[in-house]
Structure 1
Amino acid sequence: MKYNEKDIEFANQILTRRNKLDNELVEAWMSNPLHVEMLKEFVAIREEYTNWDFEIIKGEERERLQRAITRKKKRQLVMRWSVAASVILCVALSALYLWNDSDWFFEQKFPQQANWEQGKLAEVELILADGKRVPLGGSGRQIQDHGVFGIKDDSLQGLTYVQAKALDEKVTVVLYNTLKVPTGGFYQLELSDGTRVWLNAESELRFPVQFGTGEREVYLKGEAYFDVRKDVTRRFIVHLKESNVTVLGTSFNIKAYGDEDYIYTTLVEGKVRFTSEKEHEEVTLRPGMQSVLNLKSGKTELKEVEVEQFTAWRQGRFVFPSTTLGDLMCQLKRWYDIDVVYLSPEAKGYEFRGAINRDMDLKNVLAIVEKTSNVVFDINGRTIKVTIKNE
């Protein structure tokens, strides 16, 4: 049975801090037979994992939290993984800080063969119009590009072009820069018109240093979230592989990685038009809708979705509403910089659902997947081999 994130969270609260919940609220929630069935299933699974000794993971999680505090990240420690994992974590998160330090389990199962510190910004770079590469990291410094000044690598807003101006205003040549985000990275960008863009790992955006009087056009490879500044006189166009997205002012997410066979456009606010160049097919999205372009067939599917599932990466979370192990590992690969080898190819089709914070150690994530599935991970350096249990 499929459970949404809100129901999983409320079930978590019932199991861990029932005395602090409003009785009427609980009774109203329990009046739904599906919720009762869900809670019973959670309790049964919880009993199955009663013998878990959480002493073995507290030490590691405390160290992780200390690193997060040092990096000034304020993220809630929440992780849900399928129905079984939801209950496991209900127990784990409530008990985690009540036990003595120990990390024996994870050290035995996943020895420290590699440093999986994710989310690094050291290799994020800006490629200027003349090909010069400038490393970024929120230093606050000014960057000059071919007579254009006012480009700033801001510690809070990321790379911003709002104040960018040409020294010679008579120059009309449009200069393009490219922001390139590596594996395990992410970065923010503010374009000259005030449009804000968040780039996910292994993504790049080519954009004008200053927009002209015509259409505002950018070129995306990978995944990005756009919050477009409204301008009724100039359309905003995102060019993708064999397609494009046209908007006036809106918020939306695009996932268009070169190694995937689909392009996903998810609309949060406003209105966009998605165009497939191969089939010359146009679809208009309203909030809560997603277009899915099959690059092999050229066909576009339009469907309603929960947008948070596709934009949570911007808040530092992975959300898997219902995904295969193959897709899941593909996302982890971009974030943790790993290679995945399937010794049991059929395992790629196994389905999972849940959510995790992106600042969690990979070995902890893999341990949870193992505990709630029929797969086994063998780690050799940065190579993860996947097999099916009891093969």
Structure 2
Amino acid sequence: MEFKLILKKIEGTLSPEEQIIFDNWYLQSQRHRDYFHRVTQMKQPIGDIDTLKAYEKISKRLYRRKPSKLYYKIAAAALLLILISLPFVTNKNNQKFPPSTNEITKPSQTPILIGTDKAVLTLEDGSEIALEKDANFQNNYANSNGKELVYTSSSKNNNTSSIAYNTLSIPRGGQFYIVLSDGTKVWLNSETKLKYPVTFSLTTTRKVELVYGEAYFEVSPSTMNQGQGFTVITQGQEVEVLGTQFNIKAYQDDNYIATTLVEGKVRIVGEQTSIQLQPGMQSKQDINSSKIQSLHVDIYNEISWKEGFFSFKNKPLKDIVKQLSRWYNIDIEIHNEKAAELEFNGVFNKHQKLENILNIIENTNEAKFEKKGTKIIMK
């Protein structure tokens, strides 16, 4: 695949045919996804400069023979020289808006903190342990350095007659990473709770419960776990997998559960029906009716939070501010219902001040934000 398709993907200018080519390449291997994310980190935040045109100018000066690995490395390195650090957002008319120099109206100067790695671990006996920076934890089954929680292999701790359960809760303004005892890796987003066994039985299906929130799973294959499958239980549905990567979004203030498959196969089992997903597809279950539908989605937009970015494509502003409020741990009240329904496109680094992002949205002249004490009003 040509490198310029990666640039066009980040810019949001792929044609339908190019999107298919990109999706096939992206889903082909974890190596491709890692490479795309590295380029994204170099490229973000995106500014007004026409990087695609600049890239093409550079590529013409490079080797004119068949592209090699060196060609792409040089092109990627050259990309660093043509970037600026201005993020952007576009409205439904695809107008691009750079950051505004105006600050959000804010009578109160209480700072809005950027989200960090933090969680609360609840043990079987009900005791709670705060996991955060500079707070180390260790017991017979797990240890944490404040950024991640790692459990001991199930095979080493499978002598117990009964299974003990722990719960990991991520507050608003937090995120965390956990490695379960079977080797499954889970990235947990803000305002999320996961319940799981301290050690898995080697004779039954491995089961965890996403009580609420959003989590990305990289499941340890059944071949490494005595042939046992893996199931994620959420409200009203179960996701059955056999060694795969997927994202589940099941927030309490949403009226649906969204499961996005990145790699492998999953089976969504609802109260009324069940469906099987292929990579690049998402299931959406309506909480009220329990009906499940499947659709093709842009995977990067669904899992960018795990890579440290907000990525929005034709996303209503009301959904954008909901996501921002979780990460920055601040309530954003919507007083402009018309603006709330407007759709925007944009990519933002999560590790920047909220004010920067809101200023960019304000620059579209579609909405205004005012900080009042511990909340923000969208007018």
Q: With structure 1 as the length reference, what TM-score do the two structures score?
A: 0.73
- Asked if the contact 2:301–2:312 (Cα under 8 Å) also holds between the matched residues in 1, the reply is yes
Query: Kindly tell me: are residues 14 and 207 of structure 1, through their superposed partners in 2, closer, same or farther at Cα, counting changes over 3 Å?
Result: closer
Matched-pair identity in %: 34
User: In the TM superposition, what whole-angstrom CA distance separates every residue of 1:327-354 from its partner, at most 9, and x where no partner exists?
Assistant: 1111011011112222233332111111
User: 1:105 Cα shift?
Assistant: 3.5
In 1, the alpha carbon distance for the partners of 2:101 and 2:291 equals 51
SS state of the match for residue 21, structure 1? helix
Query: 1:314 corresponds to which residue?
Result: 306
User: 1:373 Cα shift?
Assistant: 4.0
Matches within 5 A, 1:167-316: 170-213=159-202, 214-220=204-210, 221-232=212-223, 233-277=227-271, 279=272, 281-316=273-308
- Asked if the contact 1:237–1:246 (Cα under 8 Å) also holds between the matched residues in 2, the reply is yes
Query: 2:10 corresponds to which residue?
Result: 5
- Asked if the contact 1:347–1:375 (Cα under 8 Å) also holds between the matched residues in 2, the reply is yes
Matches within 5 A, 1:342-381: 342-381=334-373
Query: 2:90 corresponds to which residue?
Result: 82
**Residue 58 of structure 2 is aligned to residue 21 of structure 1:** yes
Give the RMSD, CA atoms, in angstroms. 2.9
Aligned residues, how many? 313
**Residue 114 of structure 2 is aligned to residue 114 of structure 1:** no
User: 1:177 Cα shift?
Assistant: 0.3
Query: 2:31 corresponds to which residue?
Result: none
**Residue 317 of structure 2 is aligned to residue 325 of structure 1:** yes
User: In the TM superposition, what whole-angstrom CA distance separates every residue of 1:91-147 from its partner, at most 9, and x where no partner exists?
Assistant: x7xxxxxxxxxx9742x745662222212335x110000000011126584522xxx
Where do 4+ consecutive residues of structure 1 move more than 6 Å?
Answer: 164-167
- Asked if the contact 2:48–2:88 (Cα under 8 Å) also holds between the matched residues in 1, the reply is no
Tell me which amino acid in the other structure corresponds to 1:209.
Answer: V
User: 1:6 Cα shift?
Assistant: 4.1
In 2, the alpha carbon distance for the partners of 1:349 and 1:151 equals 45
Query: 2:76 corresponds to which residue?
Result: none
In 2, the alpha carbon distance for the partners of 1:242 and 1:350 equals 31
User: 1:4 Cα shift?
Assistant: 5.0
Select the structure with the greater relative contact order (CA < 8 A; seq sep ≥ 6): 2
In 2, the alpha carbon distance for the partners of 1:6 and 1:104 equals 23
User: In the TM superposition, what whole-angstrom CA distance separates every residue of 1:234-255 from its partner, at most 9, and x where no partner exists?
Assistant: 1100000111101010000000
Q: With structure 2 as the length reference, what TM-score do the two structures score?
A: 0.75
Query: Kindly tell me: are residues 152 and 198 of structure 1, through their superposed partners in 2, closer, same or farther at Cα, counting changes over 3 Å?
Result: same
Structure 1 unaligned regions, length at least 5: 26-75, 93-102
Query: 2:73 corresponds to which residue?
Result: none
Query: 1:132 corresponds to which residue?
Result: 127
Query: 2:37 corresponds to which residue?
Result: none
Query: Kindly tell me: are residues 22 and 88 of structure 1, through their superposed partners in 2, closer, same or farther at Cα, counting changes over 3 Å?
Result: farther
Structure 2 unaligned regions, length at least 5: 1-7, 14-45, 63-83
In 2, the alpha carbon distance for the partners of 1:255 and 1:231 equals 24
Query: 1:152 corresponds to which residue?
Result: 143
SS state of the match for residue 218, structure 1? strand
In 1, the alpha carbon distance for the partners of 2:102 and 2:135 equals 43
- Asked if the contact 1:272–1:286 (Cα under 8 Å) also holds between the matched residues in 2, the reply is yes
